[in-house]
């Protein structure tokens, strides 16, 4: 998942970016409003974290512009102004949730995960499709109630596919969203990881959780048990 | 008597009364005197005619002819009478018209003098009489004194005066009424700009208008301009105050957030834990102290009409996003078209904090009810806002502590944060109050904020 962090305070921004990176997200950073808007409109972004008080262009204006351009990804506001007037303005402009400064990182991380899951149409942090359950808060995959051991990269792939269960995800999109820019971009790597995931989740090839659509990409194929 | 126009009208009425009263008195006196003079002249003429008609008889007594030239002396009760008395006041002759009447003797005039007098007949008819005492020298050289007296009934004269007075009063009353009417219309026209200023100020107080319009006559333009300057500077002051607080909060909180981020990188658990507590405290101080109400009931001219339905809808939409997973069911009961007279930010703080707490603590139901409260002479209605949920509720002790002792940060009701303290402060600044109880229907907390109606700053 690729996140965008727009925050003018360098210490805060870098710390946030580093910790989100450690949690398995690819993170873009922008230090002012104009740069932030450019990233928000031009980069493949799954979620944006936007400070409301930014130089050059206010966070509120960025949110309005992003929504006006038809971008639907979730937006989390960081705000030092916790008057309800500001919160309501942000939410009406198109943001989905807010975190008031000074926050604990865990708070931001929890909101980010919840927003991503919601944007995939899942109502709870335990996503279940057939025998497969993904627990986002514990970052755990279970098949038939048996935990499946995954590397962090394998987890990122299944999380991305499963949050968007039913949608076709191209190899290029997976590469974009999962690699940080400094990773080697090689689409064969994705094929290898998909193969490993299939083996781990479905050793006897009976449930077929991941479908390959030739020339188009992959799709998490199991029916959701519940949806929001 | 506070109103300028009633003062002016009363003053003008008194002036008109005095002026017209004096005029009427002068005219009346002049008319009566002229009338009476005319009567005297007539009586004088009649008297001269009587003297001319008197003849001495053979017995050396005066004798009046059977018929006089004046026909009114001949017809009975005509109103013009005459008589002749001798020196002993015995009636020697009386005109035919006075048949059956007794003309009062009255005072005997001095010899050779005319004497006018007002006397009455026995039946009360007023008379104007003229008596003349003469000494008649007969052919034998003897002298005898006589009194000739003519009397005219004043009935017709008095009727004439009464008619004149009726006309006089009628005309003057009509003129006075017309003048007063014209004057009060003139006054309405003249005072229209003042009434306009008055109504525009009311509109500002009710929040329907931002400043006075410029369309006033020259004399009032300065007042209107200064009034607008005052309103603008009040608004600017209130905006500046809020802006300063916002900036202060922002510039304090970002470093706090950075400190917390840096602290998380530390691996000394005990140290960072204690440090984090201090950050938490500083944050609460900033949040509480810098989120003071921006307006109060005293700032009448700054307040605006907040559209309650619209703002609550915005809040509920926002909270639906924030509590997306919990998916609380909102029941909103607001009197249609209801307005809250105050500051939009303050209203959002009141409703936002209470709704947020309700969402946080409810199982699934949140109910917000807002009704206006009205009072005598209120120019804007107050508001009673009740927010209830079906959660665990607030323990009575905690509620009492918050409501009675006032709020200190380390005493904030656990779980309800400083939101309630902010709500209480804002309610107080609008002269209102806060009450906490258990919701009879939903079973959770029920918090009511009552803001009293705004009474006009105008006197009277």
**Domains (ranges, CATH) in chain B?**
4-160 (3.30.450), 207-290 (no CATH), 299-455 (3.30.565.10)
pLDDT at A191 exceeding the cut of 80: yes
Are A191 and A175 contacting, i.e. CB atoms less than 8 angstroms apart? Answer: no
Confidence of residue B299 (pLDDT cuts 50, 70, 90): low
**B196/chain A closest Cα distance in angstroms:** 35
**B429/chain A closest Cα distance in angstroms:** 17
Q: Among A126-135, A172-181, B83-92, where is mean pLDDT lowest?
A: A172-181
Residues in chain A closer than 8 A to B290 (CB atoms): none
pLDDT at B405 exceeding the cut of 60: no
Confidence of residue B294 (pLDDT cuts 50, 70, 90): low
CATH number at residue A141: 1.10.10.10
Asked if residue A109 and residue A169 are part of one domain, the reply reads no
Q: B139 in helix, strand or coil? A: coil
Asked if residue A114 and residue A9 are part of one domain, the reply reads yes
**For chain A, percent of residues with pLDDT exceeding 70:** 95
Task: Give contacts of A 168-207 with B, CB under 8 A.
Answer: none
Q: Inter-chain contact A97–B321, Cβ cutoff 8 Å?
A: yes
Q: How many domains does chain A have?
A: 2
pLDDT tens digits for B138-147? 888 888 889 9
Q: Among A82-96, B263-277, B365-379, where is mean pLDDT lowest?
A: B263-277
**For chain B, percent of residues with pLDDT exceeding 90:** 26
pLDDT of residue A130: 86
Test the B interface: residue of A14, A84, A116 with most B CBs within 10 Å: A84
Asked if residue A146 and residue A102 are part of one domain, the reply reads no
* In a domain? residue A226: no
Asked if residue A161 and residue A183 are part of one domain, the reply reads yes
pLDDT of residue B417: 62
Task: Give contacts of A 80-99 with B, CB under 8 A.
Answer: 80-85, 87-88, 91-92, 95-98
Asked if residue A94 and residue A6 are part of one domain, the reply reads yes
Q: Which of A78, A93, A119 is the last residue of a domain?
A: A119
| Average pLDDT of the residues in A75-81 | 89
| Residue A110 structural domain | 2-119
Asked if residue A104 and residue A133 are part of one domain, the reply reads no
* In a domain? residue A60: yes
**A21/chain B closest Cα distance in angstroms:** 14
Q: Which of A119, A144, A168 is the last residue of a domain?
A: A119
Distance CA B149, CA B80 (A): 11
Percent of residues in chain A assigned helix, strand, coil, to nearest 5: 40, 20, 40
* In a domain? residue A227: no
Distance CA A114, CA A110 (A): 6
Average pLDDT, chain A: 86
pLDDT tens digits for A148-164? 888 888 888 888 888 88
Residues in chain A closer than 8 A to B275 (CB atoms): none
Residues in chain A closer than 8 A to B291 (CB atoms): 82-83
Residues in chain A closer than 8 A to B315 (CB atoms): 84, 88
pLDDT tens digits for B28-44? 999 999 999 999 999 99
Asked if residue A183 and residue A87 are part of one domain, the reply reads no
Test the A interface: residue of B241, B252, B257, B275 with most A CBs within 10 Å: B257
Contact status of B417 with chain A (Cβ, < 8 Å): no
* In a domain? residue A30: yes
Task: Give contacts of B 241-300 with A, CB under 8 A.
Answer: 246, 249-262, 264-265, 279, 283, 287, 291
Test the A interface: residue of B258, B291, B311, B368 with most A CBs within 10 Å: B258
CATH number at residue A96: 3.40.50.2300
Confidence of residue B197 (pLDDT cuts 50, 70, 90): confident
Q: Which residue has the higher pLDDT, A122 or B186?
A: B186
Q: Inter-chain contact A84–B264, Cβ cutoff 8 Å?
A: no
CA-to-CA dists, residue A174 to A70, A150, A158, A201, A210, angstroms:
22, 17, 10, 19, 14
Listed residue (A80, A6, A82) closest to B254, CA to CA: A80
Our measurement of the distance from residue A226's CA atom to the centroid of its chain's CA atoms, rounded to an integer in Å, reads 20
Asked if residue A95 and residue A110 are part of one domain, the reply reads yes
A15: nearest CA partner in chain B: B261
Torsion of CA B394, B397, B401, B407, to 10 degrees: -40
| Average pLDDT of the residues in B400-417 | 55
pLDDT of residue B301: 64
pLDDT at A25 exceeding the cut of 50: yes
* In a domain? residue A225: no
* In a domain? residue A28: yes
Q: Which of A119, A150, A174 is the last residue of a domain?
A: A119
Q: Inter-chain contact B256–A19, Cβ cutoff 8 Å?
A: no
**B363/chain A closest Cα distance in angstroms:** 16
A16: nearest CA partner in chain B: B261
* In a domain? residue A140: yes
What ipTM score was computed for the predicted complex, to two decimals? Answer: 0.76
Residues in chain A closer than 8 A to B246 (CB atoms): 81, 83
Q: Inter-chain contact A15–B353, Cβ cutoff 8 Å?
A: no
pLDDT at B261 exceeding the cut of 50: yes
A96: nearest CA partner in chain B: B321
pLDDT of residue B167: 92
Distance CA A153, CA A196 (A): 11
pLDDT at A8 exceeding the cut of 60: yes
The DSSP secondary-structure symbol of A181 reads T
pLDDT at A228 exceeding the cut of 50: no
**For chain A, percent of residues with pLDDT exceeding 90:** 32
Asked if residue A62 and residue A13 are part of one domain, the reply reads yes
Distance CA B416, CA B449 (A): 16
pLDDT tens digits for B61-115? 888 888 888 888 888 888 899 999 888 888 889 888 888 888 888 888 888 888 8
**A95/chain B closest Cα distance in angstroms:** 9
**B206/chain A closest Cα distance in angstroms:** 22
Are A214 and A170 contacting, i.e. CB atoms less than 8 angstroms apart? Answer: no
Contact status of A67 with chain B (Cβ, < 8 Å): no
**Token code pair at residue A157:** 């792939």
Test the B interface: residue of A54, A77, A88 with most B CBs within 10 Å: A88
pLDDT of residue A95: 94
pLDDT of residue A112: 92
* In a domain? residue A178: yes
Residues in chain A closer than 8 A to B351 (CB atoms): 84
| Average pLDDT of the residues in B313-342 | 90
Asked if residue A113 and residue A82 are part of one domain, the reply reads yes
Asked if residue A165 and residue A77 are part of one domain, the reply reads no
Residue B283 is nearest to which of A15, A88, A102, comparing CB atoms? A102
Are A125 and A117 contacting, i.e. CB atoms less than 8 angstroms apart? Answer: yes
- Largest Cα–Cα separation, chain A: 57
| Average pLDDT of the residues in A143-152 | 87
A-B contacts at Cβ under 8 angstroms: 99
Q: Inter-chain contact A84–B262, Cβ cutoff 8 Å?
A: no
CA-to-CA dists, residue B229 to B118, B233, B294, angstroms:
78, 6, 20
Average pLDDT, chain B: 84
Asked if residue A181 and residue A144 are part of one domain, the reply reads yes
Q: Among A73-87, B117-131, B239-253, B401-415, where is mean pLDDT lowest?
A: B401-415
């Amino acid at each position: 998942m690729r996140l965008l962090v727009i925050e003018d305070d360098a210490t805060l921004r870098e710390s946030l970016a580093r910790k989100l990176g450690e949690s398995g997200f690819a993170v873009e950073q922008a230090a002012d409003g104009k740069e932030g808007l450019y990233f928000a409109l031009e980069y493949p972004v799954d979620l944006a974290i936007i400070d409301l008080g930014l130089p050059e262009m206010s966070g509120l204006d960025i949110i309005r512009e992003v929504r006006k351009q038809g971008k639907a990804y979730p937006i989390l506001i960081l705000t030092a102004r916790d008057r309800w007037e500001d919160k309501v303005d942000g939410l009406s402009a198109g943001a989905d949730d807010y975190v008031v400064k000074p926050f604990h990182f865990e708070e931001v991380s929890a909101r980010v995960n919840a927003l991503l899951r919601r944007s995939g149409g899942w109502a709870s942090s335990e996503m279940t499709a057939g025998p497969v359950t993904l627990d986002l808060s514990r970052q755990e995959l279970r098949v038939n109630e048996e935990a499946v051991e995954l590397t962090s990269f394998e987890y990122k792939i299944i999380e991305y596919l499963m949050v968007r269960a039913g949608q076709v995800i191209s190899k290029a999109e997976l590469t974009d969203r999962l690699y940080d820019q400094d990773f080697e971009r090689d689409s064969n790597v994705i094929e290898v990881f998909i193969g490993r995931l299939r083996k781990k989740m479905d050793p006897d090839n009976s449930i077929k959780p991941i479908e390959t659509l030739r020339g188009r990409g992959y799709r998490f194929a199991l029916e959701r048990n519940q949806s929001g | 008597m506070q109103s300028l126009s009633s003062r002016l009208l009363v003053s003008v009425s008194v002036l008109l009364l005095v002026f017209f009263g004096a005029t009427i008195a002068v005219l009346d006196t002049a008319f009566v005197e002229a009338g009476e003079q005319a009567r005297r002249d007539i009586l004088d003429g009649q008297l001269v005619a009587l003297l001319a008609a008197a003849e001495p008889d053979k017995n050396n007594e005066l004798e009046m002819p059977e018929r006089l030239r004046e026909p009114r002396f001949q017809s009975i009760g005509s109103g013009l009478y005459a008589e002749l008395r001798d020196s002993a006041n015995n009636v020697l002759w009386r005109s035919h018209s006075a048949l059956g009447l007794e003309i009062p003797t009255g005072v005997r005039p001095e010899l050779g003098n005319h004497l006018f007098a007002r006397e009455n007949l026995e039946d009360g008819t007023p008379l104007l009489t003229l008596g003349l005492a003469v000494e008649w020298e007969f052919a034998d050289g003897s002298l005898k004194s006589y009194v000739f007296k003519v009397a005219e009934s004043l009935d017709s004269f008095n009727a004439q005066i009464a008619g004149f007075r009726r006309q006089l009063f009628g005309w003057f009353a009509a003129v006075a009424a017309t003048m007063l009417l014209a004057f009060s219309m003139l006054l309405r026209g003249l005072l229209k700009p003042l009434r306009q200023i008055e109504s525009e100020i009311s509109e500002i107080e009710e929040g329907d208008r931002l400043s006075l319009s410029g369309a006033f006559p020259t004399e009032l333009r300065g007042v209107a301009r200064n009034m607008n300057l005052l309103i603008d500077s009040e608004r600017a002051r209130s905006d500046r105050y809020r802006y300063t607080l916002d900036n202060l909060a922002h510039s304090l909180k970002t470093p706090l957030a950075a400190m917390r981020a840096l602290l998380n990188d530390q691996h000394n658990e005990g140290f960072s834990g204690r440090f984090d507590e201090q950050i938490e405290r500083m944050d609460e101080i900033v949040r509480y102290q810098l989120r003071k109400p921006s307006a109060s009931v005293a700032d009448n001219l700054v307040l605006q009409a907040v559209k309650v339905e619209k703002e609550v809808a915005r809040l509920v939409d926002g909270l639906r996003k924030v509590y997306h997973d919990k998916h609380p069911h909102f029941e909103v009961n607001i009197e249609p078209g209801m307005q809250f007279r105050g500051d939009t930010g303050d209203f959002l703080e009141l409703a936002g904090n209470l709704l947020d707490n309700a969402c946080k603590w409810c199982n699934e139901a949140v109910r917000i009810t807002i009704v206006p409260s009205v009072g005598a002479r209120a120019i804007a209605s107050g508001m009673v806002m009740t927010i209830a949920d079906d959660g665990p509720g607030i323990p009575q002790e905690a509620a009492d502590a918050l409501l009675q002792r006032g709020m200190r940060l380390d005493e904030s009701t656990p779980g309800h944060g400083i939101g309630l303290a902010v709500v209480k402060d804002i309610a107080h600044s609008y002269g209102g109050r806060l009450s906490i109880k258990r919701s009879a229907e939903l079973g959770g907390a029920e918090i009511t904020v009552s803001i009293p109606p705004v009474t006009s700053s105008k006197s009277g």
